[in-house]
Structures are given as structure tokens and as C-alpha cells.
Chains A and B, each alone.
Chain A
């Protein structure tokens, strides 16, 4: 223990020393141009193997070049080559500026490389430093242009940063979450969005239809971290203030933000996504993407494609589709038929069960649906309920009852008195994809009758309701949508006063020997 501690202490001391050294160098360079060559020492440190050294050097660089940017000690305009500058006709002052500009460019390159360093600290400090440079450049542009015509913003630098953040090999989610604080600034966000679009287009075109999970997840995380403002007046936080024509700047207009946002997403969704990514996009689509698009209807293609995929993805696409149908007047042919075919045993087991039933409840709440359709839904759900866990059953049974309540003509499903006691086979055809042809209306919900024998008392009680006419009031299924089996269990585990524990009266002498033993017939102790 002791030696390690010692080393630790010594390394700390070492770091401190370096820091002091670097600070000294920075002081010297800033004080007089004599020490200009010391800047190489800093750059050397910047490329060192030790993380501590790097972070110290990054700090030093940041301080140094920010001051230079402020002092305008860096060459402004089109930068001549280093060799040319030495040969060419320049004043010493200009020569110095050119030299420093080159060093600055070197420094930025190294920092961009560091964005994909192994350790997070280095990445983070490099990112912060780069963003400070960007801010500095925004205030004191390095390009020599007519600023009354153009808007000064370090576009290239931001593009480079984005390009490096969206790595194809390592998961940069931590760094991206750090980056989020810069995305709060409106202009940065705007330019980042357009950079992402360009970047995605180039990278994905190169990959030629092959999914790049790491890259795409990085892009997705970055895009997810973009918080769009909802009103024009909220656009106040800028990194670079434009002196003239601020109002005309695209980055200052919400409409342009929305368009950039829309193009970014469309550009991203154009390419093939890994399955998990697909689901993630669909999960957030309706509340964090669609509202911020200038034309949400452009998502129709994506959503219909997703809806046709089947399985969990279809279930999730339903939510986006609902928003489009509900708010943007989308007309979707055979929507209910597809919804009907989405009903499979797995809907009771997937994670998005609550969302699906919430939406299904919304879709089927219309009173203008044909009876055959509602009956088909009720019958199919009842049939599927034969494989459902109790938590799902507590949703499905009230759901079916609600359907019957809304459409009183469906009551024949649970009550069809006939004069003679005819016996009949279930006429319902499970395999029929068209709800109009599945003969659901001619059937009865015998499945619910079966569920009256379900092992869980709550389910059995719920199933008992069909024995008597249903009440007028609809059941509120939103309460049971999110119920988990542990919560269900807690109902019985809760200590109540009147609860007694009935006991088994058959004496137990052995683990596996008893009347009606099943386990003991197939398994043995040893």
C-alpha cells in the first residue's frame, strides 16, 4: 500500500510541476515574442502519452491561443504556406503571425484527434478547448471577408468537431452528453444539425447499405440531445452575436432550425437502421421528432414502412401514425386490417404493451366502426388471452368489455339466447387475415368462460363479469396498463388485519412424497 501511495504522491507532484512549467511557458510566450519557439514544447506535451500531461497542455493551449485570438496575434486571411512565408516578403510582425497561425492550426488538428482518445478526460478537455476556440473565432474571425455581407461563424471548425465526435469505432455517448451544453446555443445547434446531415450523407453513402451500429448510435445520441426550441422568442442564447443583420441570420430563425432538424432526421432515417435503433427512433418519434418538423407528413413513408415490418416495430410505428392521422389528416387505407393482424401472442409480452393497448383503445374508441370489425377485434383478443400472463389479462378483459359497451350490437358475443340448446363449433377463423371474413360475430367469447377458471383470483373475478349484463360505465384501463406482476403480487403480500393463513391439513413428511405428487415422479433429490 505504502509504495503505491508514494508513487501516487510523486506523480501528483510531477503533474503539478508540469503545470507550473507550462504556465511559465505560456506567460513567457505571451510576454514577449522572443520565446515564440517555446510553443513547440507545449505542442509536444499535447502529444504526450500521459493523460495528465495532455490535459495540462490542453489547458495551456486554450489559454495561449484564446489570448492570441483576442489580441489578433494570429494571421487573418488566406494563410500562405509556412515555407513560402519565410521566403516571401513579409514584415517580421506578419511572419510571427503566420507562424503562430500555423501553430494554432497544428494545435486544432491535434485536439481533433484527441476527440477520439481512449480516456474521457482528454476527450472532454479537448472538446471544451475546441469550443472555446470556436467562440474566439466567432468573435475574431480568421477569414478576411467583408463581414457586412457574410455571417461570421467558424463553420469548418464545428464541422470538424462533429465529424470527429461521430466516430465509427467508439461509443462517444459520454462526450456527446457533454457536448449537449454547447448545443443549448442556437447558432451552434443550427450548424451542428447541418453538419450532421452532411456527415451522415457522406459516411452512409460510403458504407453502401451496410449498417454501422456504432456510428449510427453515435449519430442517434447526438441527435437525441438536440433540444429544439418551440417558439421564436426562445432563440436568445447565441455563441456569436452578429453585429449587423442579426435578424436575417438563418441560425436566428426557428423556421430554418426546423428545416435543418427535419432534413437531418430524414437524412438519417433514409438509410437502413439496426433493429434496436429502429425501435428507439420509433419510441421517441411522436414526442421529440414530429412536433419539431416543419412538415411532419414527410415521415409518412418512414412510418408506413415501419408499420409493414411487423412485430414490435409495427406496434411502435402505430404511435407516430396515430399522430399523423389525428393531427395531420393522414388517410391510411386498411389501417384497421393491419391493426387486426398486429394482434399476436407477443403483444402481451413485449415491453411496449401498455403503449400499444393505450393506442388500440384510442383507435377503437370511435363509435363509427362497423360491428364486424369490433367483434373481430374482441374475439381475436379473447383468443390470444388464452396465452397471456395475468398482468396482460387484467388489461385485455376490461378492454374487451369496453368494446362491447361501446358497440352494444356486439353483445351477442357474450349473450345470445336461442330457443333450442344447440351445440356448435366455434365458427371463428383465427387464420383469416381479413376481419370481415373471420365470422367473429357468429361466435361467442368462450375463451372468457375458460378464463373464469384462471388461477389468479383477480383475473377470474374479472372474467366472471360476463355472467351478468355489463354495467354502463366503461372501465378505465389506464390504471392497469402499467401494472407489473410484482405489483400484482403485492396485493396479496400486503399485510391486512383480517388475513389468516389457512394451512395444508395433509401432513408433510418428505419433500417429494405426497398424494398427487408430480415433481417427485420426474425428479429425485440427489
Chain B
């Protein structure tokens, strides 16, 4: 800027000559923009202006740009000055010369000697010629320690006297210092980093210098030494002897380091004692429980889905789930499996496994120790490696454990002839392949499982799952998701076979649970479709016939499985809510026409109680069904006079289902668990058997009533809900001794409930604050701007305003430009005119002188 313009006006001179502060302080330069109102808190940028400065700035800028363009106008060629640093004001002339020279050299050094290594150039390392290094006369390293000896560095003292933690703290100390600095000066991160880099560079440089100096000194020493070596031949051993005692503190150092490293090498997650494990487990369960409670209350706000599956630190992420009951670690005794352990009580077993775990932990601890020692020998660099080794070892151990557990789990069901069975199972297991392809269709699955024992079926499923774990191949996830649906379908089919193969279902439950944990979505969807279909078909039957048949056993199994897989206590759950609705639909729409129907109904009631046992929700259909069932047992229907809720009827063909045919049969009855298959087919030959079955049903029913009493005792309408049951029990049903206890318990529970309640009132609202008469003060943030419009409108308004401002500014600039150009043109014309005048004048002058001379000459001639 300072060089190019040839013409300099006054303002430029002034500006160049004076410093900025001087200009600002000059009252003749400064123009103060007077404010009309002084507004508190408003900052204005334009209260002081420097018109002279800004004008000169603008003019010089125009000169650089506009004027040049104007001059270049109508010219096709252009002169470009490519001299290095010609227009760079910051460069000192010396620099300029130096750089130009370097470039000159580069140019002269053309392509032709790219591969010419030996000419002129020298390879260096750390600024030192390699050729010199190759001489191997560097002997500095050997004497390094001796130099450091006796040096009481801060580091050393810290490690020796700082409580031993110095080594560990060393790493972080730098950061801490920086933090402190940050605290003091509040530097930005960028600055800190820059500072750090600078510092490290400086240190590096210093180190290099130091090293060079040291090298020089040692070389000098060496030479000196050589010169006097001959004189001191005999004294060297003594010198060595003197050195020795000084090594002792090094041992100490070593110990300190060792200790330090030991601490460092500790595993990030230490081996847990059984108590700790139990505690952790408890905490996890508590957390899940809290989550369940939250969902039960129907809070939707915590919608952020957290990972539902707990992953332990040891989890291999292979989808294998350790079942509690399978938790039998295999132990060897004298090369044999320690099977006796399984027959012992669970408690002992647990204790023992605990011990084993403890011992294992100890072993591993020992290994840790070993590792640490090794690391120490190997040096600090390898410490991470050692750790990862350790982890991989643990992993492999876990895998072994898993496999062993799986193997042992299949041996749970031990019968009397355990030896035989064991042999059989071994044989069967030998036949089973270890890998299975995931079934693509339901038929495939059936073929896969066909003809295997329940235990083997489970094993097959487990192996299929493992072989097709999603982490192994891309398509596996989809395959396993499909498998969930197939497995459910298979369970349904097992339940519909006659006789139903419920034991197989029982065996397959853990596998289904594991799959469900992996793919909750797929499991939920397939269960939903099962429930939806069943409910839909029932609805259609009801539309056509007015009633429907009780669902078959597979639906009962599905409902039970639903309760196993999904939480039943949620306020709203995509699977369990429909399941409960299905139960309710069944209990209201299906009339009881036989003992089978009644059994189905009781199963459903049991499921209903199970579903609501945690949340204690009110299930009216359950009470209706139970009271209806009790009503079936009343001999003299007419006298009861109580209301019966459909599907039960006050009288009719099937209203005497539970009336005992012979009151004597009570004496030989004892409570037995009913088989689930009784919901499908029931063969009761004699009246006695029938009576026993009836008594079983009644006892189940009474037990359920008792459970309901306990569950619902806090409901406000408890007495009204249980009124029909109470009248039935107290007046019309008299039971045998065995049921008497239940009977009286229920009556006690019902009568003990409180019958009085406080009146209903609305929940207290937050009181509405009184109206105040003080003016409402609203903070105005943007003055003079339109308020109350929408965001878009405001944005539009803002843009419009900006455009206007810019437009005006541009217009002003253009005007200034044209003014500038006009001035320049005028200048040009003036200059040209002046020139011409000057020339004319000159010519006229010369002519005048000529004329004068001529006249003078003439006069001379005359005279």
C-alpha cells in the first residue's frame, strides 16, 4: 500500500506519519456523533467517528482497485510483477535477497541431478552429518548413569518420599499443573495446547544442545584420558570398587518401582468375592424392579429405552444366558466327574460352588502375581500386553465353563437309574452334531427336533442358537428372529398333541427365554399375532353363536409363556395387556359346560391371579368366574337369591357341575394337583373319582379366592366385590374338614376388611395465586422491533431490513466510486490541458524569441 501509489495526498501523509492513538486523540480528527437520548445499557458502536481517516482509507483503497482497473481499461496486455516479495512490506530487504537467492539456486539445481547423491549434498540426522555418525565414535551412552548419579531430581524425591505414589501420579501431574494454570489465568484450550507444544519443542532443543555439549566434553575427556591412560593402568579396578556401594539405592529404586508397577498392574475390575457378586446382583435386580414399578405406574416420561439386558463384565456377548438353576459348576475328583454333588442339597451345592469360585479367584490372583513379575522383567512397555493376555485367558476359561455348564444342565433330570440314563445320554449326545443350521421354515424346525428326547431338543436349540449367533454372520440375526416365531409355534403344536407333550415345552422354556432376551421385538410380535388371532376367532364365534368354547391347551400354554417372558405388571404392555384382555374375554364369553371347561377356567383364573399378583390390579372377571364356580357347588340354587354374572346362569343344565353326587366321598379325598391335560380330556369313570375331582376343583377355587382376598384387601369396594362370595360361603356352602380351613380363612379375610371410607374429594389443586395490582414488568430485549409476530415473520423482517441496509450501502459506494472516477478523469483532463498550455506557451515563447531575434537581426541590419 505504501509503495504503489505515486501520488500522495495530505491525509495519507498524516496517517502514515502519525500513530493511530495520536490520530484518535486529535480533536480535529475526531467527530462525535451526538446521541438524542442517552439510553442505559445500550452500547453503540458509532458514537465516535474518524472521518478523515476513513475517507483517506477509502480513497487509497479505490486507488488500488478502481483506479487500476480504470487504467487497465481497454488494454489487453498486462504487466505482472512476479518478483519475490516485491510488494510485501513486512519483508526486510535482507530476507528478500536471501529468498531470491535460494530460489535462484533451486532453479539452477534442475532435474538432471535428482539422483546424483554424492554431489554437494550431505545427509544429516539431527543436524549432524551421517557420515560423521558412521564413525561410531559416540561413547556417550555408556557413561550416562554415572552422570546422573547423585542428582537429586524432583522426580526422584517425589518417588522416594512422596508416599510411593509418585510414579503413578507422574502421568497426571502435568495435566494437573496445567489445570492449575488454567485456574489462574483462565486460558483457552487452544492456547494451552500451543503452549504445551512450544514447551516441548523448547525442551527438545535444550536437550539436544545439552547433549551436544556433553558429547564434546566427553570427547575432550576421552582424549585427556588417553593421554594419561598409561599412567593410571593399575588404579582402574579400585575405581570400579568405589562405584559399587553406590548401586544400593538403585535396588531401593527398583523396589519402589516394583511397588508402583504392582499397583498399576491391578485389573481394572477386580475379582469379586461371592458376597460382592451377590450384592451386585441384588443391586441390578433392585434397579430392574424400580424400572418395573415405574412402568407399572404408567409413567411414560422415562421413555428412553435402556438396554434391557444386563451385560456383565465377563459377558462374551454370545447370547448365552446363564440360568440360575443350571448353575452347577463341574468339578473333577480323581479324574471323574463329581456327580454326587448334584444329589446334595442346593444349599450345600451353592456353598461349594462358592468355595470353588473363591479358590478359582485365588488361582487367578496368583496368576496375576506371576504376570506382574514377568512384566517387571520385561519392562514397563509390555504391561498392557500382559493384561490383555490375562483377559483372554479368562475368556477362554469362561467359554470352557459355559460348555461344561451346558453339558451338565442336560443331566439335571436324574432318575433312580442314573447310571443307565447317563450312559444313554452320553450315547445320544455322541450322536448329536455340534452345529446346526438355523431352520428356514417351521417344517424345518419340526424335522430338526423330530424324534429327539426333550433334553436333546433343548440341546439342539441351544446349539442352533450358538452356531447362528448374530455376531458370527450377517444373516444370522434374521434367522434367529424367525426361529423365535417357529419355536413358539412348535410349543403350541406340542400342547395340542394328544397327549400334550408339556415336558418338552418345559424343557424348551429356557431356550425361548434366551431367544426372547435377544430379540424382544420378534418374540413380542409373534406372541401378539398369536393372541390377536385367538381373540379374533373367539370374537367371531361369539358373533355367530353368542358364546364360544374355552381355548385349547396351547393357548393356555401361550398365556403362561407370556407371563414368563414379559412383565405382567406394566401399566400398558404391548403383549401382556392383550393377554389379560384375552383372559378376560374367555372368562366372560365361554360358558362352563363340563368339568374340562371348568378346569380350563380355573387354569385361566390361576393365570389371571399370576398376572396381577404383583401389580394388584383389579380383574373383575376373575371374581365373577370364581363366584360362579362356587355357585356351581351349591345344591339348592333357588334359595341363594344372589346375582350370578354371565357366562354362569342361575339355573340350567350345567349349573350342578360341582355338586357332589355322594357326600361320603369327601372322607377319602386328599388334595392333589390337577394335570393340565385335564383341560382337554378327562376320563372319570366312577362317581367317587368324579367327586374327588370336583373337590380338587373346589379347593383350587377356594385357594384362588383366598389369594384374591389378600390381593384386593386395599380396594375401597372390597366388601362389595366379595359380597356374593361371602354370602355363598357363609350360608350355602358347607365343606368337609379339609376345606374348612380355607373356608374360614376367606371369611375372616373378608370380614376383617374395613368397611368405612372417607368421602371422595377431588385432588387438591395447586392454589391459584391472587391477582396482583402491581404492573407487570416485562423485560424488553430488542428495542423498537415488532413483537408478537411469528418467528418466520421476524426472520423475514430482519432479512428485509438487512437487504435495505446493504442496498443503500452499495448505492453509496457506487456513487462514491463514480465520483472518484470523475475526479480522476477531471484530473486527467486538467493535466492534459495544462500540459498543452505549457507546450503552447513554450512554443509561443520560442516563436516570440525567434521573432524577437529576427527583429533584432533586422534592426541590426538596418542599423
Q: Which residues of A contact B (CB under 8 A)?
A: 344-346, 349-351, 383, 386-390, 413-418, 421-426, 444-447, 449-451, 453-457, 460, 466-469, 484-486, 488-490, 492-493, 495, 498-505, 507-512, 514, 516-519, 521-526
Contacts and interface: CB of A to CB of B under 8 A. Distances in A.
B422 interface: no
Contacts of B582: 489
Interface in B755-771: 755-763, 765
B643 A344 contact: yes
B584 A446 contact: no
B480 to A, nearest CB: 16
Given A349-B588, A485-B539, A523-B606, A426 B564 contact: no
Contacts of A519: 560, 603, 606-607, 610
B538 to A, nearest CB: 8
B325 A526 contact: no
Interface in B586-620: 588, 602-603, 606-607, 609-620
Contacts of A498: 303
Contacts of B617: 453-455, 460
Nearest to B644: A345
A interface, over-half SS: loop
B721 A508 contact: no
27 contacts: A345-B646, A386-B721, A389-B620, A390-B581, A414-B760, A415-B762, A422-B758, A423-B758, A449-B760, A450-B715, A451-B618, A453-B618, A467-B762, A485-B535, A485-B539, A492-B573, A493-B578, A501-B521, A503-B520, A504-B566, A505-B308, A512-B506, A518-B609, A519-B560, A519-B606, A525-B502, A526-B503
Contacts of B673: 521-524
B570 interface: yes
Contacts of B614: 516
A494 to B, nearest CB: 9
A517 B570 CA distance: 18
Contacts, number: 259
Interface centre among A346, A486, A490 (most CB of B within 10 A): A486
Given A518-B609, A522-B700, A522-B703, A389 B524 contact: no
Nearest to A463: B618
A455 B614 CA distance: 12
Interface centre among B510, B564, B567, B759 (most CB of A within 10 A): B759
Contacts of A344: 643
B674 A522 contact: yes
A522 B517 contact: no
A490 B532 CA distance: 7
A525 B606 contact: no
A414 B758 CA distance: 11
Contacts of B588: 349, 389
B746 to A, nearest CB: 16
Nearest to A499: B574
Contacts of A386: 620, 717, 720-721
B interface, over-half SS: helix
Given A414-B760, A492-B572, A507-B323, A522 B606 contact: yes
B520 to A, nearest CB: 4
Interface centre among A413, A444, A505, A524 (most CB of B within 10 A): A505
A426 B321 CA distance: 53
Given A383-B720, A454-B617, A468-B763, A502 B570 contact: yes
Contacts of A422: 758-759
B536 interface: yes
Q: Which 10 A-B pairs have the closest CB atoms?
A: A501-B524, A423-B756, A349-B646, A508-B564, A455-B617, A501-B520, A457-B572, A525-B502, A450-B717, A446-B716
Nearest to A517: B610
Given A450-B721, A502-B520, A518-B704, 14 more contacts: A389-B621, A423-B754, A445-B760, A447-B717, A450-B618, A453-B617, A455-B618, A486-B535, A488-B581, A489-B535, A492-B572, A492-B574, A502-B566, A518-B606
A118 to B, nearest CB: 27
A511 B715 contact: no
A393 to B, nearest CB: 8
B462 to A, nearest CB: 13
A349 B649 CA distance: 12
A503 to B, nearest CB: 5
Contacts of A415: 760-762
Nearest to A448: B760
A505 B610 contact: no
Contacts of A457: 298, 571-572, 577
A450 B285 contact: no
Interface string B689-703: 000000000001001
A355 B582 CA distance: 24
Interface string B702-718: 01100100000001111
Instruction: State which size class the interface on B falls in.
Output: 35 or more
Contacts of A510: 325, 506, 509
B323 A424 contact: no
Contacts of B758: 421-423
Interface centre among A424, A451, A488, A492 (most CB of B within 10 A): A492
A387 B760 contact: no
B66 interface: no
A455 B703 CA distance: 21
B623 interface: yes
Nearest to A423: B756
B677 interface: yes
B629 interface: no
A450 B620 CA distance: 11
Nearest to B604: A519
Interface string B731-754: 000000000000000000000001
Given A489-B582, A519-B610, A508 B565 contact: yes
A511 B760 contact: no
A526 B517 CA distance: 28
Nearest to A469: B762
A503 B700 CA distance: 30
Contacts of B632: none
A305 B853 CA distance: 159
B305 interface: yes
Nearest to B611: A455
Contacts of A469: 762
A383 B674 CA distance: 35
Given A389-B588, A519-B603, A446 B539 contact: no
B624 interface: yes
Contacts of A499: 574
B580 interface: yes
Contacts of B606: 518-519, 522-523
B546 interface: yes
A507 B531 contact: no
A486 B546 contact: no
A455 B295 contact: no
Interface centre among A444, A466, A518 (most CB of B within 10 A): A518
Contact of B759 (A424, A451, A511, A526): A424
Contacts of A456: 577, 580-581
A417 B572 CA distance: 33
Nearest to B491: A511
A416 B536 contact: no
Contacts of A426: 720, 755, 757
B675 interface: yes
Contact of A387 (B295, B609, B624, B677): B624
Contacts of B707: 518
Contacts of A504: 563-567
Contact of A502 (B573, B704, B754): B573
Nearest to A490: B532
Interface in B550-566: 557, 560-561, 563-566
A511 B502 CA distance: 9
Contacts of B840: none
Interface in B490-538: 502-503, 505-506, 509-510, 513, 516-517, 520-521, 523-525, 528-529, 531-532, 535-536, 538
